[in-house]
Amino acid sequence: MSISPQAPPAGAAPVIPTGQELFDVIMGQIEPELTTEGVKTLDQKYQNETAEGLMERKKRYDLAFERYDQAYEGYVGTLQAQMQRYRKHSFNQAEMEDRQSEGNFLDRIHTAMFKAA
Amino acid sequence: MSFIEVPNGQDPLLKIEKTEATASEQKAEEKDTKKPEQKEMKEQLRKPKEELHQGARNGVEQRIAAHNVRLTALQNQKDRHDTDVATLKRRADEKKEHLKDTDLAADLVTDTATAMQAPEGKTKPGPVEIPEGEDRQETKQEQMLAKGVDQTKAPEKNVNPEIAQAQVAALEQADVRTEQNTEVADTKAAQKTESADSARGVGTNQAGGQIA
């Protein structure tokens, strides 16, 4: 299962969520009972659970955490790639602005010198 | 004929109620026997269930704590990057400020270059063109020329008449003196010439005599 962060607009910095936000986003799509809000209701929800039900649930949770860890690595990898793109883009942007400004200035100097000659 | 036998003349409805009561009593008895079993089973499951729930909560908390560390590092990386970009932009602005003077110099060069090309261009004002026609107004120069004043000559200064008269008198006196001096000089020169001639005549005669 691939869960990726939302792509930021071109040139904009990616939004870095908090640990809890990130956990809830990913786990909410895998096992909603294990989100930060979901775990608070487990005791009440499974009051009359049978032994078989408990065993089955335990297996489900184990699998959910395993899938979560995989999804998390993919999510953070994408987030880091977005960060690198943002870093590269913003440096390129600053360099281009500076180059354009310098280019205009040099053009003016060049024009002035050759006109004067 | 009734399907229900009523022994000892009892009310048949009473008999039915008694039968229902017996059944419910039996059920209650069964429940009572099941309750301890369920209770026991619940007690047995309580601990593993608590362990499962606690394990789930721990798993959630541990992961969130680990994520917070990693995401904080990522956020710090982003902040450092933003600072780097801001520094880069600030330095570029400072450079622009520094180049402003040079930019002004470039403007000056451009202006000078434009001024040098002015006869062809429009930046330098050329001679004023006066339209030909009946309404044409004479220029001041033309008016002066018409009056016989040559404007090319330097204008005469305002002269005080007394000073001018004195200057004229002085010049006349100077002329007189020069004439007198000339006359005196001429007289002296004539005298000198005469005496020299006479002296030369004697000598010449003497010499001639000798030659002869």
Q: What is the pLDDT of residues A89-113, one digit of tens each?
A: 988 988 888 888 888 878 887 887 7
Instruction: Compute the distance between CA of residue A22 and CA of residue A44 in angstroms, rounded to an integer.
Output: 26
Question: Quick check: A57 and B52 in contact, CB under 8 A?
Answer: yes
Question: Quick check: A34 and A71 in contact, CB under 8 A?
Answer: no
Q: Which run of H or of E encompasses A87?
A: helix A51-116
Higher-pLDDT residue of B104 and B141 is B104
**Phi and psi at residue B10, to the nearest 5°:** -85, 155
| Partners of residue B65 in chain A, C-beta under 8 Å | 19
Tell me how many degrees the CA angle B184-B185-B186 measures, rounded to the nearest 5: 90
Position B132 confidence tier, pLDDT thresholds 50, 70, 90:
low
The answer as to whether A7 is a domain residue is: no
Higher-pLDDT residue of A39 and A102 is A39
pLDDT at A5 over 70: yes
Q: Which whole number is the average pLDDT over A32-38?
A: 96
pLDDT at A42 over 50: yes
The answer as to whether A5 is a domain residue is: no
Q: Which whole number is the average pLDDT over B80-99?
A: 84
Angstrom CA distances, A18 to A1, A41, B62, B101, B176, stand at 21, 23, 14, 49, 120
The answer as to whether B209 is a domain residue is: no
Question: Quick check: A16 and B71 in contact, CB under 8 A?
Answer: yes
Cα torsion angle, A57, A62, A65, A67, sign = negative
Question: Quick check: A76 and A2 in contact, CB under 8 A?
Answer: no
| Domain boundaries, position B91 | 19-115
* Residue percentage of chain B with pLDDT more than 70: 46
Position B168 confidence tier, pLDDT thresholds 50, 70, 90:
confident
Q: Which of B49, B70, B89 is opposite residue A76, by nearest beta carbon?
A: B70
The answer as to whether A13 is a domain residue is: no
Q: What is the pLDDT of residue B199?
A: 55
| Partners of residue B46 in chain A, C-beta under 8 Å | none
The answer as to whether A11 is a domain residue is: no
pLDDT at B1 over 50: no
**B59/A108 touch (CB, cutoff 8 Å), yes or no:** no
| Domain boundaries, position A60 | 19-116
Q: Which of B49, B64, B95 is opposite residue A20, by nearest beta carbon?
A: B64
The answer as to whether A49 is a domain residue is: yes
Q: Which run of H or of E encompasses B75?
A: helix B12-116
Question: Quick check: B113 and A116 in contact, CB under 8 A?
Answer: yes
Q: What is the pLDDT of residues B6-50, one digit of tens each?
A: 556 556 565 666 667 677 777 776 666 667 777 777 788 888 999
CB pairs under 8 A between A and B: 119
The answer as to whether B48 is a domain residue is: yes
**B74/A83 touch (CB, cutoff 8 Å), yes or no:** yes
Domain count across chain A: 1
The answer as to whether A14 is a domain residue is: no
Contacts of A68 (CB under 8 A, 6+ apart): A26, A27, A30, A31, A34, B63
Q: In this structure, how many other beta carbons lie within 10 angstroms of the beta carbon of residue B59? A: 19
A3, A52, A15: which is closest to B49 by C-alpha?
A52
Question: What is the ipTM metric for this complex?
Answer: 0.85
Domain count across chain B: 1
Instruction: Compute the distance between CA of residue B74 and CA of residue A77 in angstroms, rounded to an integer.
Output: 11
The answer as to whether A1 is a domain residue is: no
Position A74 confidence tier, pLDDT thresholds 50, 70, 90:
very high
Q: What is the pLDDT of residues B43-78, one digit of tens each?
A: 888 889 999 999 999 999 999 999 999 999 999 999
Q: State the helix-helix crossing angle for B12-116 and A19-30, rounded to 10 degrees.
A: 130
CB crowding A83-116: b at 16 or more within 10 Å, else e: beebbeebeeebeeebeeeeeebeebbeebeeee
The answer as to whether A103 is a domain residue is: yes
Q: What is the pLDDT of residues B180-197, one digit of tens each?
A: 776 666 777 667 766 665
- Alpha-carbon gap: A10 to the closest alpha carbon of chain B (Å): 16
CA B129 to chain centre: 40
Q: What is the pLDDT of residue B167?
A: 75
The answer as to whether B168 is a domain residue is: no
**A54/B113 touch (CB, cutoff 8 Å), yes or no:** no
